[in-house]
Amino acid sequence: MAGQSPDEGNERKTDVVEEERGAAEAGASRGGASRTDVAEPGAARTDVAQAGAARTDVAQADVAEPDTEHASAAEPGTGQDGAPDRRPEAADAAEPGAAAPGAPGASRGAGPAPASEPESAAEPAPESESESERTSEFVALKPLDPPVVNKPSRPVAAGPASRPASGPASGARDGAAPTPAPDAAPTAPAPLPPLDLLAELTNTPKPPETRARTLTRRFKIWMPVVLLLALVFVVVQAVRPLPAPSLKLGADTSSYTFDGRFSLPWPAKGQGAVQVQGSGSIGTFGEQRPVPTASVAKVMTAYVVLKGHPLKKDEAGPTIEVDEKAVREGQSKDESRIEGLTAGARFSQQDMLKMLMIPSGNNIARLLARWDTGSTDESAFVAKMNEAAKALGMKDTTYTDPSGLDPRTVSTAVDQLRLAEAVMRFDAFRPIVALPNATIKGLPQPINNNNDDLLLAGLSIKGIKTGSNTAAGGALMWAAYKTVGDLTPLVLGTMLDQHVDGPDPSGGNSLKLVKENSKKVVAAVRDALTAAVTVKKGQVVGYVDDGLGGRTPLVATADLKAIGVPGQRLPLRITGAGESVPHSGKAGAVLATLTVGTGSDAPKVPVALQKDLREPSFGAKLTRLG
């Protein structure tokens, strides 16, 4: 051995270290158990011993030399004799934190290895090995460059650099490998965000976040949702039911006003109202407050009877028997009555209406009330009178008896004008009130009308009813006609609360006053009546609104004429010709009727489409909101 050069000894020592390093790396690739085997240098040391005595001698000589020179300078983490530990590969391959029993630091009572090398512990050599073999494991060699070791990417739990042997040395002498201490539980790494995980799996780094990339990502995420919602919206809008078309008047055809000015010669006191049937109101005067009506109340009695028991023109109708009460009331001297009646006598309904309206028999009014309801008094019939008044819109009218003798039966001129328009629609009623007198079979003498002077005045007055008493004064409901061109409208008027100055016990003088004042009004209206074309044929009067912004013009199919007085304003209205307005139609199709004035007697003409009526377009369906 003395003949070996230092270089040769170094080469042999390098070979020993390289072989041990290869064994350690092979053990690291096989897992935890293999790393333990690598830590046991028995097999490697045996191969070194068999390689030749010369190699062992060189190792022993080298071991002895540093032992004397550096024993006092040994520090934790060095070899058995103070030489640096040359087995980092085996330590890295061992389980984290497992100390190798019998390692130089452990066998000499050295402290734990520094914390910067947590995996440097190795298995102790079995005691069955020779001293030379143990010595060869911890040979002191010249420091070599430390090998590059790929550290695991996962975090390693913090722990001591090395741990003492887990069992006594006798275990190694028995040939059993000592059991390393269990590792500390590693901390579970936090899950990575999806983009970071994808970048790690594909080895593609996550691109930097910018405003443009953020907007692009949001656009890609939300665009499909927006497109789906848009598609649903389009489908829903396309299949939704269309709104019902409606008829609208044009702004310049909402009304018509006759040229000129006109004023009525109203009296200074009382109240009154006048209208042209079909055209509307001409005017009113006085405060419209409820006042006694006297015998004008009999008009409502006739209305209720005819409504419950209709008659055709000149039809006699059913017979009505006179009772004892009607005979007894006919003998009264303090009220208007029909005299000469006998109990059990029978008269037609038509004759009873004549006795009611022409001479104004109070006893006949009560008899008709009992006959209509089949009762012994008039209360049930009075209730029907008030129901009829409410139905006609007579809001300021109250009936307490069928004759009007009771001063608590009150109304206004405007309310009575509503009743006049309604009752004059009965064909059986108009001829009766136009009679100045009448002869009725079964009565001792003819009956005369109380307004015969008006009926014979040459003003075409055709009724309707007078009324007078102390409470009411004079009251009159009248009807007159005037032909203008090819039209002959009915002019209706009422005047109430006419009182003469001075005493008037029976109201006779007040009756004369109301007739004189009414005659002036009738004459003035007749003279002022005029006809006018309110709408010409072919004129656009309105349109069909499809509900989505589409409008199709409507035109009058003929001239629309109306009658009124100068300054009178007539409303126009358009109504459908059928139950509903269609969504489509051809030009010229009649869809509606244009009416000027008020009431069912108002003049009217058909209205047709000026051009084809089409359903709303697809764009209009999509953009509708309602």
Contact, 444 vs 510, CB < 8 A? no
Same domain as 488, residue 602: no
Site of tokens 């000499």: 108
Please name the residue that has the structure tokens 């230092």.
6
Q: Are residues 295 and 435 in the same domain?
A: yes
Over the range 463-501, which residues count as b (16 or more CB within 10 Å of their CB) and which as e?
A: bbbbbbbebbbbbbbbbbebebeeeebbbbbbbbbbbbe
pLDDT at 142 over 90: no
Q: What is the pLDDT of residue 244?
A: 87
**Shared-domain flag, residues 383 and 396:** yes
Those residues with Cβ within 8 angstroms of residue 55's Cβ, 6 or more apart along the chain or in another chain: 12, 15, 16, 48
In a shared domain, residues 48 and 160: yes
Confidence of residue 577 (pLDDT cuts 50, 70, 90): confident
Q: Is the pLDDT of residue 480 over 50?
A: yes
Residue 608 lies inside a defined structural domain of this protein: yes
Judged by DSSP in three states, 208 sits in coil
Residue 39 lies in a domain: yes
**Structural domain contains residue 421:** yes
Q: Is the pLDDT of residue 2 over 60?
A: no
Lowest mean pLDDT: which of 141-155, 219-233, 608-622? Answer: 141-155
Q: Where is pLDDT greater, at 515 or 601?
A: 515
Q: How far apart are CA 308 and CA 88, in angstroms?
A: 125
Q: 28-32, 287-291, 391-395, 589-593: which range is least confident on average? A: 28-32
**Three-state SS at 328:** helix
279 or 167: which leads in pLDDT: 279
Looking at the fold, whether 235 and 339 belong to one and the same domain comes out as no
d(CA 508, CA 269): 17
- The pLDDT of residue 165 is 42
Assess whether 39 and 142 both reside in one domain: yes
- Following DSSP, what letter does each residue of 452-494 receive, concatenated? HHHHTSSS-EEEEEEEEETTTEEEEEEEEE--BTTB-PEEEEE
Beta carbons within 8 Å of 492's beta carbon, 6+ residues apart = 274, 275, 276, 277, 417, 420, 421, 424, 477, 478, 479
Domain boundary among 509, 528, 547: 528
Residues 514 and 550 reside in one and the same domain: no
- Give me 280's structure tokens: 């509307």
| 536 Cβ contact partners less than 8 Å away, ≥ 6 residues apart | 556, 559
d(CA 165, CA 183): 14
Please give the residue range of the domain that contains residue 226: 191-239
175, 281, 576, 605 from 594: Cα distances, Å:
122, 19, 9, 5
Pairwise pLDDT comparison (415 vs 167), residue with the higher score: 415
Residues 460 and 507 occupy one common structural domain:
yes
Q: Span 336-360, mean pLDDT?
A: 95
Residue 178 lies in a domain: no
- Structural domain ending residue among the three candidates 476, 502, 528: 528
What mean pLDDT comes out for the span 328-332? 91
- Based on the domain organization, do 231 and 290 belong to the same domain? no
Question: pLDDT category, 490, cuts 50, 70, 90?
Answer: very high
Local structure of residue 412 (DSSP, 8 states): -
| CATH code, domain with 498 | 3.40.710.10
What is the share, in percent, of the chain residues with pLDDT greater than 70? 68
pLDDT for 21: 62
Asked whether residue 395 carries a pLDDT value surpassing 50, the answer given is: yes
Is residue 415 within 8 Å of 389, Cβ to Cβ? yes
Structural element, H or E, at residue 107 = helix 104-107
pLDDT at 77 over 50: no
The pLDDT assigned to 211 comes to: 87
pLDDT higher for 27 or 420? 420
Question: pLDDT per residue over 176-190, tens digit each?
Answer: 445 555 555 567 677
Identify residue 276 by its one-letter amino acid code.
Answer: V
Distances (CA, A) of 413 to 70, 340, 389, 531, 580: 141, 35, 13, 26, 38
Band (75; pLDDT cuts 50, 70, 90)? very low
Q: Is residue 265 part of a domain?
A: no
Q: What pLDDT shows up at residue 175?
A: 46
pLDDT at 73: 38
| 419 and 510 co-located in one domain | yes
Q: How confident is the model at residue 116, as a pLDDT?
A: 40
Question: Does 15 map to a domain?
Answer: yes
Structure confidence by residue, pLDDT tens digits, 496-547: 999 999 888 888 999 999 999 999 999 999 999 999 999 999 999 999 998 8
Of 173, 204, 225, which one is at a domain's C-terminal end? 173
Q: Average model confidence (pLDDT) for the chain?
A: 78
For residues 233 and 252, state if they share a domain.
no
Residue 207 within any structural domain of the chain: yes
Q: Which residue has the higher pLDDT, 144 or 19?
A: 19
Q: Classify burial at 558, counting beta carbons within 10 Å of its beta carbon; exposed 0-12, middle 13-18, buried 19 or more.
A: middle
pLDDT band at 433 (very low <50, low <70, confident <90, very high): very high
pLDDT for 103: 39
Q: Which residues pair with 274 in a beta bridge?
A: 283, 493
Q: Looking at residues 569-585, what average pLDDT do you find?
A: 88
Q: Band the pLDDT of 276: cuts 50, 70, 90.
A: very high
Collapsing DSSP to helix, strand or coil, 437 comes out as: strand
pLDDT higher than 60, residue 150: no
Residue 233's pLDDT band (boundaries 50, 70, 90)?
confident
105/58 same-domain check: yes
pLDDT of residue 436: 93
Question: Per the structure, how many domains does the chain have?
Answer: 4
256: in domain: yes
Instruction: Give the C-alpha distances (Å, rounded to integers) separating 190 from 155, 159, 184, 202.
Output: 11, 20, 18, 19
Long-range contacts of the stretch 30-39 (C-beta < 8 A, 24+): 32/95, 34/93, 35/90, 35/93, 35/94, 35/95, 36/94, 36/123, 36/177, 36/180, 38/89, 38/90, 38/93, 38/94, 39/90, 39/93, 39/94, 39/100, 39/121, 39/122, 39/123
| Between 264 and 236, residue with greater pLDDT | 264
Query: Of 184 and 454, which is predicted with more confidence?
Result: 454
Beta bridge partners of 551: 545
Residue 172 has pLDDT above 60, yes or no: no
